[in-house]
Structures are given as structure tokens and as C-alpha cells.
């Protein structure tokens, strides 16, 4: 017995399910649309009303316009029940044709049971449920269809074959014994109709049913019948549509593919190869036809749009003859509005392009900053570690010789190196937190003297080691609005820089002043190396780039001053520098005064 692989068994089955949902529904809809009794059944409405336009566009298969005018009709007051039912019916079909089955289902479910075409509603709900893989509900809807209603012609049960759909549902539910009689009934109906195109699908699906049950001999007979019918499909007719060509190619392709699988399982590789080659011919033809179909669809859309524009133009022209002056005025206003809107969007586009260009420039600067930061940080950390390594080597030598005085000096030196590296890493961490907006920030009233004294206390060992005179004369009455932790970081960096760039026996002063209304100035002054005016201006520049150090012999990245500027700005403050080369530097931080009450 032959045993095909499971995914090959259902090649024909699943392809035909897709075809069913696309092809049979087109047939149902086209036949339904041809039944002009709908127009006669509609309530009498004035010419140009929304329901009349809805009906017109529905018959034209213009689904977008149908949805627009049915929506307007439903929003109209005093609609009768019959009109609402027709609107929901039109909308259900339109959504279904626009590949929005869930929306279509909602519209069909709003139709009352007393609707003249309620059987059509049940049928189409069944189709939607089938597409949504709700097979039990599909069977329930189709089983409930009346066989004696006058709508048989509209539903066209023999053509649409609800029994065949029920059979497919049973197959997909693995109820093969229940599926067989329904599929065969559908096949008998199709044979009676002599619909060769659909018979290929029906025979193929019944064959797949038998293969699933390992009744191979019967299955192969049906596969051969499907292939034989596919060979009879004629493409030489001149008036055959592109859509029909696509369907024919599709049927021929799947028929050949199934026969190739059958022959491969029968070990007849010669015939299997012939079927494979034929299959490749049909798939190439199908792909070509799909491309032709897509082009034709685009051309059709353009043609419809052009025709619609022509109709609209003629309507406007007729109105111009009646009210020329008014239309001329409205046209002038419309033109001005159009030009205004065009100018607005053009201006917005230019503005957007400028923003994008600025963002790109900022991004480039940020990338440059990142690269430069990594370069400087890695260099300075390497320098610190190198210095510590060399110092430790000397320390070990002095330890061996028990030179205690030298050991003490080396330990102080190592402590200074470690403190510098720690400060660098601390600044790097705070800078990263600011860039990623992860830093906790809360602006509150702060007593300036206490914060200054607290930060300065940690630097007393360094000040003593470098023999620097330190004074803190900040007024004890000064209160500012600032975030406490970020203010401490600012002070630590400014004091650290003052110590770093000061010579031994120099001085560092911290004091406050009130030269700007609404602000308190906190000034960190040192008697250090100072800087040139060019360097001072670079440090005050708002650029995100790190500035090159003027004194290369002193360890530092320039990151600290960038961090200071960022945190002062976040505290709504101002930053300034006064300095001369060889005469020292004043770092001036201006913070908003706190309201003392």
C-alpha cells in the first residue's frame, strides 16, 4: 500500500479550500447581484439619496463607496427596519470583499431574522466562519438553510454546494466517515452542472480524503480523474479573463503535483519526473499570470479613477452653468486654501528635513563624543593603573630595604592615584546615568553652606597633602533651589579640579555672592595654573563634545566639566568661568534662590 507523507496528502485539500473561499463566493455574489429584485424590494427613496447611492455602488462592486453611503444612511434619522437591514447586508458583503471578514460578520449579525434574504445572511455567515476555522458553527449554519425557500435561486445551492462545504468541515474535523457522503453529494451536483473547473477541485479533495484513510487505490482513481479533467481545461478562448486563467493554471499545477507524488510513491519515477516537469510549466505560467493580473488590476483601478474624475468634472460643469458666480467664488476660495495647505505642508516638510539634519548632526556629535570619551577614559585609566603599577614596584623595593619614610610617601602617592581613578569612574557613571535619564532628580530648598562644608570635608586629606590653604566663607543664610546629590557632584568636580590644577602652598576659596537678581552665586576660586581665553570659551561652549585638555601632564578626561555643565543646566542654573594663565581660576555656579518662609 502506498503511504504519502502527511503534508503531501493535503496539498490538494488545502489549496481547494482557499479556492473555494475565493471562487465560489465570487460566483454567489455575481449571481446575487444579477438578481435585480433587490431594487424592486427597496423602499421608495428620493433620487440621489444615500440608500440609492449605496445600491448603485453595490451593484458596481465599488465596496468603498458602498461602505461610505451605507454609513451615511445608517446615521440618518427615521430609518425603517428594512432599510437598515439592506444597509447592514451591503456592508457585510463589502467588508467580506475587502478581506475584512470579522467586520463583515458583525454587520450580518445585525440583520433581523425577518429580513427578506435572511437565508443569504446565514450562508455568508457560514462562509466567514469557515474562513475563521469555526467548522462546527459552519456546519450548524449550513444545516439550518431551508431547501424550499424562494431564495434558492439567489443562494444557488447546487452551484455553491453547501453539502460540499459541510463535507470539507468534517474532513478538517477528522470526521472522515461523516465527510464522505457530503463530499460525494457535492460531487454529484457538480457533475450535473458540468462545471469542469470545480470538478478538478472536488475530485482532488475526495482523493485526499481516501489517502488520509489509506484507501490508496480509490484515492489514485480520483487523483487521475482530477488530472484528466484539468487537462481538458481550455485556455485558447479569446475572451477568457485573466482571473480565470490564473484559476486554470492553479488547477493544472495542483493536479500535476498530486500525480507526481502518486507516481513517486508507486516508484514510477519516469512518470513522476514528467509530472514534475509539467508542474513546473504550470507554476511558471501561474506566476506570469499573477503578474499580468496585478498589472491589469492596477490599470483597472487607474481607469476607474479616471472615469470617476471625468464624471465628477461633468457634474461640476453642469453646476457651473446654473450658479457660475457662486462656484467661481468657491473655486477661488478653494484654490487659496489648496495653495495655503500646500505651502503649509511644504514648510512643514522643510522644517522636518531641518530637524532630521540637526538630529543627524547631533547623533554624529554624540558618536564622536562616545568615541573620544572611550579613548580618553581608557588612556587615563591606563595611565593611573600604570602609575600605580610602577609605584607598587618601587614600594616593594623600599619594603625589602625597610625604607619606612619612602614607604609612607609612596602610600600617599598611591592613595592619590586611586582617588583620581575613582573620581574618573564616578563621573563616568553619573554621566552615563544622565545620558540614559536614569538618575533620580528632585529640586528642593537646600542650605548652601551645609552642602559645601560636607563636600569639602572629604577633601581635607588631599588639601593637607598638597599644602593648600582652604577657606569656606559661604553665607549660612543662603538657600537655593537644587537637587542635593547633583549639587554635591558639581562641587566635588569643581573642588577636585581646583586641587588638581593648583601648585603646592596655593589656596582654594569657596564663597557666595548675589550679583544676579533671583540667583545666588557659588564661587570656587583657586590660585592654580589658570587657562587661556580660548580654552575658557571652549569649556563654556554648549557643544556635547569633550574639550581637549590644555595641561596634558595632569590626569583628567574633561568629562567632569561636561558633567558639571549638564547638572547645573538641569538645576535651572548658570555657569561661568573667569581665568588668566598663571593667575588662577574662578568657577561661578549661579543657582535660583529659594523662597525663605
> What DSSP string runs through 81-142?
HHHHHHHHHHHHHHHHHTT-HHHHHHHHHTS-TT-TTHHHHHHHHHHHHHHTT-HHHHHHHH
- Distance between CA 59 and CA 433 in Å, rounded? 64
pLDDT of residue 267: 84
425 vs 579, which has greater pLDDT?
Answer: 579
Q: What is the CA radius of gyration of the chain?
A: 43
CB-based contact 571:535 (threshold 8 Å): no
pLDDT tens by residue, 94-132: 888 888 889 988 998 999 988 887 888 888 888 888 888
Looking at 196-323, list the stretches that DSSP marks H as alpha helix, in order from N- to C-terminal side.
196-212, 216-232, 242-265, 269-322
Q: Confidence class of residue 496 from pLDDT cuts 50, 70 and 90? A: confident
Q: Confidence class of residue 377 from pLDDT cuts 50, 70 and 90? A: low
pLDDT of residue 591: 93
- Distance between CA 316 and CA 412 in Å, rounded? 94
CB-based contact 457:423 (threshold 8 Å): no
CB-based burial label for 131 (10 Å; 0-12, 13-18, 19+): buried
pLDDT tens by residue, 249-267: 777 788 888 888 888 888 8
**Domain chopping of the chain, boundaries:** 6-214, 233-310, 426-592
CB-based contact 229:196 (threshold 8 Å): yes
Select the highest-mean-pLDDT range: 137-151, 320-334, 384-398, 493-507. 493-507
Q: Confidence class of residue 574 from pLDDT cuts 50, 70 and 90? A: very high
Q: Confidence class of residue 232 from pLDDT cuts 50, 70 and 90? A: confident
> Residues 196-218: what's their mean pLDDT?
82
Cα–Cα distances in Å, from 246 out to 17, 285, 289? Answer: 16, 8, 6
- Name residues whose C-beta falls within 8 Å of residue 465's C-beta, 6 or more positions apart in sequence: 412, 416
Q: Which CATH superfamily is domain 6-214 in?
A: Tetratricopeptide repeat domain (1.25.40.10)
- Distance between CA 8 and CA 261 in Å, rounded? 7
- Name residues whose C-beta falls within 8 Å of residue 352's C-beta, 6 or more positions apart in sequence: none
pLDDT of residue 588: 93
Which residue carries 458553527 as its cell?
A: 137
- Name residues whose C-beta falls within 8 Å of residue 514's C-beta, 6 or more positions apart in sequence: 520, 521
Which residue carries 546615568 as its cell?
A: 433
Beta-strand pair 574-580/507-513? unpaired
From the list 420, 423, 503, the residue with the least C-alpha distance to 468 is 503
> Residues 501-530: what's their mean pLDDT?
91
Q: Give the angle subtended at the CA of 88 by the CAs of 82 and 91, to the nearest 5°.
A: 140
Cα–Cα distances in Å, from 293 out to 248, 344, 395, 442? Answer: 13, 39, 86, 64
450-456 contacts, C-beta under 8 A, 24 or more apart: 451/484, 451/487, 451/488, 451/491, 452/491, 452/510, 452/522, 454/488, 455/488, 455/491, 455/492, 455/495, 456/491, 456/495, 456/510
538 vs 423, which has greater pLDDT?
Answer: 538
C-alpha cell at 273: 519526473
pLDDT of residue 573: 92
Of all helices (H) and strands (E), which one includes residue 482? strand 479-483
pLDDT of residue 472: 92
The length of the chain is: 597
The CATH number of 426-592 is 3.30.565.10
- The three state secondary structure string of 449-470 is HHHHHHHHHCCHHHHHHCCCEE
CB-based contact 205:171 (threshold 8 Å): yes
- The three state secondary structure string of 491-541 is HHHHHHHHHHCCCCCCEEEEEEECCCCCEEEEEEEECCCCCCHHHHHHHHC
C-alpha cell at 447: 542650605
- Distance between CA 6 and CA 211 in Å, rounded? 9
Model pTM greater than 0.75? no
C-alpha cell at 423: 573620581
Mean pLDDT of the chain: 77
Beta carbons within 10 angstroms of residue 226's beta carbon: 27
Which residue carries 574633561 as its cell?
A: 558
C-alpha cell at 288: 506570469
pLDDT of residue 286: 64
**50-59 helix and 63-74 helix, angle to the nearest 10 degrees:** 160
Q: Which residues pair with 521 in a beta bridge?
A: 513, 590
Q: What whole-number percentage of the chain has pLDDT above 90?
A: 12
- Distance between CA 206 and CA 164 in Å, rounded? 10
C-alpha cell at 581: 594663565
pLDDT of residue 18: 34
- Distance between CA 465 and CA 484 in Å, rounded? 28
Amino acid at each position: 500500500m502506498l503511504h504519502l507523507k502527511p503534508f503531501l496528502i493535503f496539498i490538494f485539500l488545502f489549496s481547494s479550500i482557499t479556492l473555494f473561499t475565493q471562487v465560489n463566493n465570487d460566483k454567489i455574489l455575481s449571481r446575487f447581484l444579477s438578481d435585480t429584485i433587490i431594487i424592486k424590494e427597496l423602499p421608495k427613496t428620493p433620487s440621489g439619496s444615500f440608500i440609492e447611492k449605496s445600491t448603485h455602488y453595490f451593484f458596481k462592486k465599488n465596496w468603498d463607496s458602498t461602505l461610505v453611503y451605507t454609513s451615511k444612511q445608517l446615521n440618518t434619522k427615521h430609518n425603517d427596519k428594512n432599510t437598515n437591514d439592506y444597509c447592514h447586508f451591503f456592508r457585510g458583503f463589502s467588508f467580506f470583499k475587502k478581506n475584512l471578514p470579522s467586520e463583515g460578520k458583525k454587520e450580518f449579525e445585525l440583520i433581523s431574522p425577518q429580513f427578506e434574504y435572511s437565508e443569504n445572511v446565514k450562508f455568508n455567515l457560514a462562509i466567514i466562519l469557515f474562513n475563521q476555522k469555526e467548522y462546527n458553527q459552519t456546519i450548524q449554519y449550513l444545516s439550518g438553510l431551508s431547501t424550499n425557500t424562494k431564495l434558492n435561486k439567489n443562494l444557488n445551492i447546487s452551484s455553491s454546494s453547501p453539502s460540499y462545504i459541510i463535507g470539507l468541515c468534517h474532513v478538517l474535523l477528522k470526521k472522515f466517515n461523516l465527510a464522505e457522503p457530503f463530499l460525494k453529494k457535492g460531487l454529484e451536483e457538480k457533475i450535473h452542472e458540468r462545471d469542469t473547473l470545480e470538478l478538478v477541485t472536488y475530485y482532488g479533495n475526495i482523493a485526499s480524503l481516501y489517502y488520509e484513510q489509506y484507501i490508496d487505490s480509490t484515492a489514485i482513481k480520483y487523483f487521475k480523474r482530477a488530472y484528466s479533467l484539468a487537462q481538458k481545461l481550455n485556455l485558447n478562448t479569446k475572451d477568457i479573463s485573466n482571473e480565470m486563467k490564473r484559476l486554470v493554471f492553479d488547477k493544472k499545477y495542483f493536479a500535476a503535483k498530486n500525480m507526481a507524488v502518486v507516481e513517486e510513491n508507486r516508484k514510477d519515477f519516469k512518470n513522476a519526473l514528467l509530472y514534475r516537469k509539467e508542474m513546473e510549466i504550470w507554476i511558471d505560467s501561474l506566476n506570469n499570470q499573477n503578474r499580468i493580473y496585478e498589472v491589469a488590476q492596477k490599470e483597472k483601478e487607474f481607469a476607474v479613477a479616471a472615469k470617476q474624475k471625468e464624471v465628477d468634472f461633468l457634474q461640476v460643469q453642469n453646476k457651473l452653468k446654473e450658479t457660475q458666480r457662486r462656484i467661481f467664488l468657491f473655486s477661488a476660495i478653494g484654490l487659496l486654501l489648496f495653495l495655503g495647505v500646500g505651502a503649509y505642508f511644504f514648510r512643514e516638510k522643510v522644517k522636518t528635513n531641518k530637524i532630521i539634519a540637526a538630529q543627524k548632526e547631533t547623533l554624529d556629535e554624540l558618536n564622536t563624543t562616545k568615541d573620544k570619551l572611550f579613548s580618553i577614559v581608557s588612556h587615563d585609566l591606563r595611565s593611573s593603573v600604570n602609575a600605580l603599577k610602577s609605584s607598587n614596584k618601587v614600594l616593594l623595593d623600599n619594603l625589602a630595604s625597610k625604607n619606612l619614610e619612602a614607604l609612607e610617601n609612596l602610600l600617599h602617592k598611591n592613595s592619590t592615584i586611586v582617588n583620581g581613578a575613582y573620581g574618573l569612574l564616578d563621573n563616568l557613571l553619573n554621566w552615563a546615568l544622565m545620558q540614559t535619564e536614569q538618575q533620580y532628580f528632585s529640586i528642593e530648598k537646600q542650605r548652601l553652606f551645609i552642602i559645601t562644608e560636607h563636600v569639602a570635608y572629604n577633601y581635607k586629606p588631599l588639601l593637607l597633602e598638597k599644602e593648600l590653604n582652604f577657606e569656606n566663607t559661604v553665607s549660612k543664610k543662603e538657600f537655593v533651589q537644587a537637587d542635593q546629590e547633583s549639587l554635591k557632584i558639581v562641587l566635588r568636580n569643581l573642588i577636585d579640579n581646583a586641587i588638581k590644577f593648583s601648585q603646592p602652598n596655593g589656596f582654594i576659596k569657596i564663597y557666595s555672592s548675589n550679583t544676579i537678581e533671583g540667583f545666588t552665586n557659588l564661587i570656587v576660586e583657586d590660585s592654580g595654573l589658570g587657562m587661556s581665553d580660548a580654552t575658557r570659551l571652549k569649556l563654556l561652549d554648549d557643544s556635547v563634545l569633550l574639550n581637549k585638555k590644555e595641561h596634558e601632564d595632569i590626569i583628567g578626561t574633561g568629562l567632569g566639566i561636561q558633567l558639571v555643565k549638564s547638572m547645573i543646566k538641569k538645576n535651572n542654573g548658570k555657569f561661568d568661568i573667569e581665568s588668566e594663565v598663571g593667575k588662577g581660576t574662578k568657577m561661578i555656579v549661579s543657582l535660583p534662590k529659594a523662597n525663605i518662609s
